[in-house]
Amino acid sequence: MTMTPSKPNSLGDEMKSGLDAPICLTWELTYACNLQCVHCLSSSGRRNPAELTTEECEAVIDELQRMQVFYVNIGGGEPTIRPDFWHLVDYAVAHDVGVKFSTNGSRIDADVARRLAGSEYVDVQISIDGADAATNDHVRGEGSFATAIEAMEHLRAADFGEFKISVVMTRHNLSQIDEFKALADRFGAQLRLTRFRPAGRGADSWHELHPTNEQQVELHRWLIDHPGVLTGDSFFHLSALGESLPGLNLCGAGRVVCLIDPLGEVYACPFVLHDEFKAGSVRDEGGFRKIWLESDLFTGLREPQSAGACASCGEFDACQGGCMAAKFFTGIPLDGPDPECVIGYGADLVAAAQGNALPSVSKDHSRTRVTLGTKPGG
Amino acid sequence: MPFDPDKSYRLHDRVALRPEPFGALAYHYGNRSLNFLRAPELVALVRSLGDHDSVRSALSASEIDERRWPSFEKALASLARSEVLVAA
Amino acid sequence: MEPTDVIDAPEAELVDTDTQAVGEDALVEDELLVEEISIDGMCGVY
């Protein structure tokens, strides 16, 4: 009797060992920013004088084109305040690299909106962290909500089409989830909800701001009920609750994605801007391609990862131990449970680690240290 | 328009096919859709579609076992839904 | 030594409607050959 073929690997299983080129990646163009959001993942604020030059950026784009990287997510800091921002966006598009840029909206006026509406391969993502000014400005600064809404109005007036609204889910804004959806619908925009990691300045307020376990369960249910809402696959640790969300459902760092920072340094992802997760520099001989294919960091990440302390848990196949950035910056071993493990295995480890010296960011470009004031609404 | 294996299809000109060990990635620059083609024989079939008058004749010309054709037609229909394939 | 009872199981009848039976013993399963994942569906990107 002919045997049926054995069950093939899941797509996620195949991606774990990495590809010869990223599918897409994040590129922080500058550490300069006109805002000082409390939880900034890149600790941005001041421009670093050693930022990649225009020519160096063009060389990176040329490499991405050769490697057939389809899409680049440009951020920062605030990428639009780089003087050569528009030139680089046009250059990328002209070299087969699609662009999405993430912005606080401060440079999107009527003219810019019209220009964006006329370009076929550029996507725009506006960042907010509250569905109203009180909640948003509490973390992003006074006037930032109004600026973001104004940018959205300009995009709508220019008939841009479907831009993205991106929100980092916190204890304070999770209750506004339906309002975020209504806001996106009002503008014909696509809503994107992402996970708050203890990265960059986020480490300072993570304990106060990260969602409670009850909120995580509520969020998971809501995302299942709203499959059109994007998440950047940032909630794959919630798969341990039962149903998987759309996406690859695995950590893509060093396997299908990575980060290039404003100085050309390559990290596993934007949430681990720390020497421990630095793979190399595009200024090294061999450039980006050599780092992607041969760096010790990425080669290591593409090897089968040990389940470690999670080996006996029935949910490990679903959650794979969660996010390494979340573990690293809360002091949990990388083969341990996620700090927000839905079963609860992470909570004790986080508490225990709090007394120890935790890893701190390798680069801090903050202009000021902003602390979280009273909770919005009293 | 529903997928019809008696019609002829071709790759949309805004689509990039990137070969991979598992088959290929197909990225549509226009609508941003990303598809994982999980068999090298599917990739070869997709590349051959433009040379045939119909999907059926492309399948006949391929080395793919006839018993697998329903799965391959389903795959092509899925790509047509993403506009990776368009009627030729 | 006690004789072991040997029970013959009846021939299992294959009635899986998802598979296509062609020829004598050959079975071909439905293969998932294309998967669409959003370009936003990879963790480690913002």
pLDDT, tens digit, 9 for 90 and up, residues B31-40: 999 999 999 9
Q: Which of the other chains make 3 or more beta carbon contacts under 8 angstroms with chain A?
A: B, C
pLDDT at A8: 63
Instruction: Tell me the chain A residues in contact with residue B29 when contact means C-beta distances shorter than 8 Å.
Output: 70, 96, 98, 121
Percent of chain B with pLDDT over 90: 99
Residue A178 region by backbone torsions, left for phi larger than 0, else alpha for psi between -120 and 50, else beta: alpha
pLDDT at C21: 46
ipTM over 0.85: yes
Most C CBs within 10 A among B18, B36, B37, B83, hence the mutation to make, goes to B36
Q: CA neighbours within 13 Å on the CB side: how many for C33?
A: 24
Chain B residue closest in CA terms to A20: B20
Comparing CB atoms, the residue among B18, B22, B29 nearest residue A98 is B29
CA distance B30 to chain C (A): 12
Q: What is the mean pLDDT of residues B47-71?
A: 97
**Which among A172, A252, A237, A242 is positioned nearest to A211, based on CA atoms?**
A172
Q: Tokens 């573990």: give the residue.
A: A327
Comparing CB atoms, the residue among B34, B67, B70 nearest residue C26 is B67
Instruction: Tell me the chain A residues in contact with residue C37 when contact means C-beta distances shorter than 8 Å.
Output: 11, 246-248
Q: CA neighbours within 13 Å on the CB side: how many for B29?
A: 24
Locate all alpha helices (DSSP H) within chain A, ordered by sequence.
Answer: 11-16, 54-66, 85-94, 110-117, 133-140, 144-157, 177-187, 202-209, 213-225, 287-294, 296-301, 316-319, 324-330, 345-353
| Chain C residues within 8 Å of chain A (Cβ atoms) | 19, 25-29, 31-32, 35, 37-46
pLDDT at B33: 97
Alpha carbon distance B86, A99 (integer Å):
25
Q: What is the mean pLDDT of residues A102-108?
A: 98
Average pLDDT score, chain B? 97
Comparing CB atoms, the residue among B22, B27, B29 nearest residue A14 is B22
Alpha carbon distance A101, A93 (integer Å):
12
In chain A, DSSP finds a helix count (H) and a strand count (E) of 14, 9
Which tens digits make up the pLDDT trace of A262-309? 999 999 999 999 999 999 999 999 999 999 999 999 999 999 999 999
- By the CB < 8 Å criterion, does C45 face chain B? no
pLDDT at A47 over 80: yes
pLDDT at A372: 86
List CB contacts of A118: < 8 A, sequence separation 6 or more.
Answer: none
- Give every residue of chain C whose pLDDT is below 50, as ranges: 1-22, 24-25
Comparing CB atoms, the residue among A2, A70, A233 nearest residue C41 is A233
pTM for the model stands at 0.92
Instruction: Tell me the chain B residues in contact with residue A98 when contact means C-beta distances shorter than 8 Å.
Output: 29, 32
Q: Is A23's CB within 8 Å of B34's CB? A: yes
**Which among A105, A127, A126, A124 is positioned nearest to A40, based on CA atoms?**
A127
Asked whether the beta carbons of A123 and A161 are under 8 A apart, the reply is no
Q: What is the mean pLDDT of residues B6-17?
A: 97
Q: What is the mean pLDDT of residues B13-26?
A: 97
Q: What is the mean pLDDT of residues A72-76?
A: 98
Q: Is B34's CB within 8 Å of A70's CB? A: yes
Residues 65-94 of A with CB under 8 A from C: 70-71, 73, 75
Cα separations in angstroms, A296 against A23, A198, A279, A289, A324:
20, 25, 7, 13, 17
Most B CBs within 10 A among C33, C35, C36, C37, hence the mutation to make, goes to C33
